[in-house]
Amino acid sequence: MVTRAWLLAAPGWWGYPHHSAVTGDVRLYAHWGALLGHGVFPLHDSSWQYPPGAGALLALPELMPLRYYPAFVTLALLADGLVTLVLLRVGARSGSAAGAWLWIVGTTALGPIVLNRFDSVPTLLAVAGLAIPARPFLAGALLGAGAAVKVWPALMLPVTTNRVRAVAGAVTVGLVGLASLAVTGRLGAGLDFLHNQQARGLQVETLAATPYVLARAFGAPGIRVVREFGAYQVHGPGVSLVVTVTTVAGAVVVLGYLALAWRRPGATGLGLAGLLAVLVTARVLSPQYLVWVLGVAAVVHSDPRTRQRLTAWLLVLACALTQWLYPIWYVGLVHGAVGSALLLAGRNAVLLAACAVALRDGLGVRDGLPAYGMTRPIDTK
């Protein structure tokens, strides 16, 4: 309760630096919510980069008897509480509440952005899907619903215990969603978000942008940070090539992860490693993305025999550094301050280390044994 009170109160406290940056996206959601409530996608807004399921979610606060901001935060707080309850239930069956504590500590370290973005909802759906390996069709349906809100939960399908039934559940949800859009004549509008995603450049917080950020901070000419597509992106010599390389690298990472994970049903630890690998190679890396990995790491950490303990601690450190970076030192990052650039480099180094450790332990390299993060799925039947 104390940690959630802090997350709720911080954006309204005058002493919390740049609190308006934390709540700014919710003001944008409110604008979109008014349009989406009438069945209109914000097609001409370059900041709209979300699957159609996100539209339904962002329109939901419009139906509540509150103003948009308190309604949205209430929903985010509810999703956060449900994640904790699912993790506690899994922990009760496995004999360890470590996963629930990791979620509580990690989200507190990340700060009030957790309740001011909608990433807790797809994370809830992913955590719930991973927590019920004995019901693969329902698990897949939950992961599919999460993917309809923010694509990444689909990456967890290969590490479910019965992939065929899980994929069937996810496909069923996807077909229902597409059919609903088609019947209402909004199929094209619902899928238009893909254009804005593909048009994005190199976000300033990414690992690939870090050399540019450091070079700019130490006086290198020709490097700019510009706000585009709802985020700050780096422009400079060779950036277009870096964007191409990161895009190809991301595709290779996803294909490699799928090939590895498909041979290891129930390997949730490998799913965590795959998600981290996607984030560290991506050309977009917003602070709230750490909510995703915290949720998956918490499921992994609910198994008392997990090998991913160091990964969990590294993620908590990355979350704390991320809150310091955004919003506290973010203005400095945009304007080329040395301290902010070094903080970004440190945060990204921790994320890279977490990815390496997660992959090592997910593949069992440490002792040569077939350790898959969670050595057996937790049966919540």
Residue-range domain boundaries for the chain: 2-363
Question: What is residue 364's predicted lDDT score, i.e. its pLDDT?
Answer: 66
Which of helix, strand or coil describes residue 19? helix
Contact in structure between 108 and 125 (CB atoms under 8 Å) = no
Question: What is residue 262's predicted lDDT score, i.e. its pLDDT?
Answer: 85
Express as a percent the part of the chain with pLDDT over 70. 94
pLDDT for 368 beyond 80: no
Lowest mean pLDDT among 76-85, 113-122, 296-305, 361-370: 361-370
Mean pLDDT of the chain, nearest integer: 90
Place of tokens 């992106």: 233
pLDDT in tens, 347-363: 999 999 999 999 998 88
Question: What is residue 380's predicted lDDT score, i.e. its pLDDT?
Answer: 37
Contact in structure between 113 and 326 (CB atoms under 8 Å) = yes
Question: What is residue 12's predicted lDDT score, i.e. its pLDDT?
Answer: 77
pLDDT for 60 beyond 70: yes
Q: pLDDT band at residue 148, thresholds of 50, 70 and 90?
A: very high
Q: pLDDT band at residue 250, thresholds of 50, 70 and 90?
A: very high
pLDDT for 377 beyond 60: no
Lowest mean pLDDT among 3-17, 99-113, 278-292, 293-307: 3-17
Helix, strand, coil % in the chain, rounded to nearest 5? 70, 5, 30
Question: What is residue 137's predicted lDDT score, i.e. its pLDDT?
Answer: 97
> Residue 14: is it exposed, middle or buried by C-beta count within 10 angstroms (0-12/13-18/19+)?
exposed
Question: What is residue 369's predicted lDDT score, i.e. its pLDDT?
Answer: 29
pLDDT for 138 beyond 80: yes
The partner residues of 234 in beta bridges, in order of sequence, read 202, 225
Closest to 296 measured CA to CA, from 324, 263, 267 = 267
pTM value is: 0.92
Question: What is residue 381's predicted lDDT score, i.e. its pLDDT?
Answer: 37
Q: Measure Cα distances from 21 to 10, 80, 345 in Å.
A: 12, 21, 21
Mean pLDDT across 290-313: 93
Residue 279 sits at the vertex; the CA angle it makes with 24 and 56, to the nearest 5 degrees, is 50
How does DSSP assign 145-183, residue by residue? HHHHHSSGGGGGGGGSSSHHHHHHHHHHHHHHHHHHHHH
Q: Measure Cα distances from 108 to 2, 102, 210, 228, 320 in Å.
A: 10, 10, 25, 29, 8
Q: How far apart, in whole angstroms, are the C-alpha atoms of residue 49 and residue 272?
A: 24
pLDDT in tens, 15-48: 788 888 899 899 999 999 999 888 888 877 888 8
Residue 220 sits at the vertex; the CA angle it makes with 215 and 222, to the nearest 5 degrees, is 110
Beta strand ranges found along the chain (DSSP E): 202-203, 224-228, 231-235
Count helices and strands in the chain by DSSP H and E runs: 17, 3
